[in-house]
Amino acid sequence: MTVIDVIEPATEKVLASVERATLPELDNVIARAALAQRQWAAESPQRRAEALLAIAAEIQNNSESLAQIEARNVGMPISDARDAVAGAAATFRYYSAAPERLMGHTIPVAGGVDMTFREPIGVVGLITPWNYPLLIAAWKVAPALAAGNAVVLKPAELTPLSALKLQEYARAAGLPEHLFNVVVGPGSSVGRHLIEHPQIGKIAFTGSTEVGKDIARRAADGIKRVTLELGGKSAALVFADADLDAAAEGLTGAVFGNSGQDCCARSRVFVERSALTPFLEKLEKVVSNIVVGDPLADTTQMGPLVSASHAATVGRYVDDAPVLFRGTTPAGPGFWFPPTVLHPISDDHPAAREEIFGPVVSVLAFDDEHEAIERANNTIYGLAGSIWTTNAARSLRVARAMAAGALAVNSYTSVRFSTPFGGFKQSGLGRELGPDALEAYTEVKNVFFNTNAR
């Protein structure tokens, strides 16, 4: 048995110690989950719906302690952690309606009746990152259970605490034993074993594009189903007629939120040249006012980065980049990094091209709509994007032209539980949330029924 120390990024101190699962333990978990899954799938849809509602209620009843755990383990401001916990509960509530609505089709055919069923896949493996550990787990666990699957969840080793709590609350809510399991361990061993295990029918992964490619390759051997939510380098297009105050102020959340450790971060902001000077003036005020500090303080807007090594990586991007202005950080321990604005910067600079996953934004000027779209789309990624303009026709035209899965007009919102979320190109494969997620956790079965039989 080995134990890992979980570090609190704002203090650099050990927050908790957690046992790693061994590979034989993982095998046992999967075998028991396979048995539990058969019973779960045979339960009435009403019973499954009630179980999901009960989990939502447990999350809600423990929301403040869960938010504290998430804030301390990730370094996320407590106000954001509270939103994340509320979002996790809302996701379970949303999918509690799914078991009773997993409908198939009846299809006109000769000689009988044809019908389709949405069958569960079996045991699904979920692998999640450290940036929104609880919320991203909920996006996967809730639809997977709703569709009749059992779940083995491997959280990131940096941030396993809220997933372990979720497992505890699911049991307290009366979910059958062995149906929802959390295994802690490194991706390179426990994660890989999960992907390659013959009894795992599907992997749903959120994390880096690099690891996502590796998972897709390994899953291919068993023709396993995969959904991948990967990296991004999302663009905001700010036209001169836009509400520049809203476009600048919104970046507090849209690129500096969770210290930029957000796959949807609008880390490239293209501004129409005639609006560049006023936009940068507004952004400078916004950045200088961002409250960076103790994640547990109600007024904090930005906490530290998740780890020392991640802070070093983010730092390397900025070392030789043109910093126009930046915000502040507290002194003392903690993996702090100030909100940072890069300008003027070439589209080809690594800081403007690669996902930094830190509080760093590149501001780029453009002259016309067509050019802005071309440059925004000139990336391997395609996760999210925003269009800021008061010209309605243009906003829709540009939204249709942008190669990204989650777009917002005059808003930086990327995610709602009731709408599909996922990436174009190397930002992912498949969709989470909304009605679409259920497709990712079911197989379509077609049954022909011969009505001429005696």
Positions marked active-site: 229
Query: Taking the complex as a whole, how short is the minimal distance between the CB of residue 361 and ligand NAP, in angstroms?
Result: 15
Query: How does strand 323-326 pair with strand 340-342?
Result: antiparallel
Name every residue whose Cβ is closer than 8 Å to that of residue 370 and which is 6 or more positions away in sequence. none
Query: Which of the ranges 75-83, 101-109, 110-118, 189-197 carries the binding residues for ligand NAP, by CB under 6 A?
Result: 189-197
**Spacing of C-alpha 356 from chain mean position:** 16
Name every residue whose Cβ is closer than 8 Å to that of residue 108 and which is 6 or more positions away in sequence. 114
Query: Taking the complex as a whole, how short is the minimal distance between the CB of residue 393 and ligand NAP, in angstroms?
Result: 30
Indicate the residue among 381 and 388 with the shorter CB distance to ligand NAP: 381
Scanning residues 279 to 338, which ones bind ligand NAP (CB under 6 A)?
none
Residue choice 191, 257, 382, 385 for contact with ligand NAP (CB under 6 A): 191
Residue 130 touches ligand NAP, criterion: CB under 6 A: yes
- Total binding residues toward ligand NAP, as defined by CB under 6 A: 31
Binding flags for ligand NAP, 327-356, as an x/- string (CB under 6 A): ----------------------------x-
Beta sheet of 106-109, edge-to-edge order: 106-109, 112-120, 442-450
Strands (E), 192-258: 200-206, 225-229, 235-238
- For the chain, the residue count is 454
Query: Taking the complex as a whole, how short is the minimal distance between the CB of residue 333 and ligand NAP, in angstroms?
Result: 22
Residue choice 8, 70, 80, 229 for contact with ligand NAP (CB under 6 A): 229
Name every residue whose Cβ is closer than 8 Å to that of residue 125 and which is 6 or more positions away in sequence. 152, 154, 194, 195, 197, 200, 202, 203, 204
Residue 214 touches ligand NAP, criterion: CB under 6 A: yes
**Residues 271, 365 contacting (CB under 8 angstroms):** yes
Nearest CA-CA partner of 186 in 127, 263, 125? 127
Residue choice 11, 28, 60, 208 for contact with ligand NAP (CB under 6 A): 208
Residue 6 touches ligand NAP, criterion: CB under 6 A: no
Nearest CA-CA partner of 432 in 136, 231, 80? 136
Indicate the residue among 48 and 425 with the shorter CB distance to ligand NAP: 425
The residue at minimum Cβ distance from ligand NAP is: 187
Nearest CA-CA partner of 118 in 90, 147, 159, 97? 147
Alpha carbons 437 and 331: distance in angstroms, whole number: 43
Indicate the residue among 62 and 181 with the shorter CB distance to ligand NAP: 181
Residue choice 239, 270, 335, 357 for contact with ligand NAP (CB under 6 A): 357
Three-class secondary structure of residue 162 per DSSP: helix
Query: Taking the complex as a whole, how short is the minimal distance between the CB of residue 394 and ligand NAP, in angstroms?
Result: 27
**Residues 290, 327 contacting (CB under 8 angstroms):** yes
Residue 383 touches ligand NAP, criterion: CB under 6 A: yes
Residue 127 touches ligand NAP, criterion: CB under 6 A: yes
Residue type, 371: E
Question: Which residues sit at the interface with ligand NAP, rule CB under 6 A?
Answer: 127-131, 136, 154, 156-157, 186-188, 191-192, 195, 206-208, 211, 214-215, 229-232, 263, 355, 357, 383, 423, 428
